[in-house]
A = this chain, B = another copy of it.
């Protein structure tokens, strides 16, 4: 591997920073559309409700330098962010469980801007096998083992029911998958070198409901 990067990026970025970066990227793409060539950290902070020094620190991880009195070069910053996040590469993925959520993810066109490319989806439901959603074919689950041999896919998107999540995850790992984007509520246990990214919507529900409840006291 050992890819060359255009900017001197931070080797390790804090997770809260990482989570904010796509927000900057989305905002910057909008202002670029409006023809803004340079933008300052305080301006970004005002729009996104963030402390200006926080913005400076966050953007520093990309290695891009801003100029005092001018700000950052919009175009340069966008590219550095995409580069840093890996959004400008093609990150190939398999999806398992083409149900409600799986279908939505397959149909989601903006994945391209994340550099995410779902090559194929797999399901056990006969009714779904053979269908195409968002240009992605739904294949028989067993085909996963054949296909993964030929392709070198590193990312698995897990949108099966909770109770099969563990076994499907293990299958994915046996197929050479290195990172699993887990949308199920199940806690999946895998060898520690496998990256498991849990994306629990109920966490957000918890925060929302609690804040709503706190507010109405």
Contact = CB atoms under 8 A, between A and B. Distances in A.
Given A103-B100, A114-B202, A206-B18, A211 B23 contact: no
A72 B86 CA distance: 44
Interface in A108-164: 108, 110, 114-116, 154-155, 162
A191 to B, nearest CB: 12
Interface in A160-217: 162, 178-179, 181, 185-187, 193, 195, 197, 199-217
Contact of A100 (B86, B104, B186, B210): B104
Contacts of A185: 22-23, 26, 110
Contacts of A217: 1-2
A195 B212 CA distance: 7
A37 interface: no
Number of identical monomers bound together in the oligomeric complex:
2
A75 interface: no
Q: Which of A21, A101, A202 has the most CB of B within 10 A?
A: A202
A73 interface: no
Contacts of A187: 23, 26-27, 47-49
A205 B114 contact: yes
Nearest to A163: B30
A36 interface: no
A72 to B, nearest CB: 18
A103 B20 CA distance: 27
Given A114-B209, A193-B215, A199-B204, 13 more contacts: A11-B214, A15-B207, A19-B203, A21-B206, A26-B186, A47-B187, A86-B210, A100-B103, A104-B104, A110-B202, A178-B212, A179-B208, A181-B204
Closest 8 pairs (CB-CB, A-B): A22-B202, A19-B203, A86-B209, A197-B208, A100-B104, A104-B104, A100-B107, A199-B204
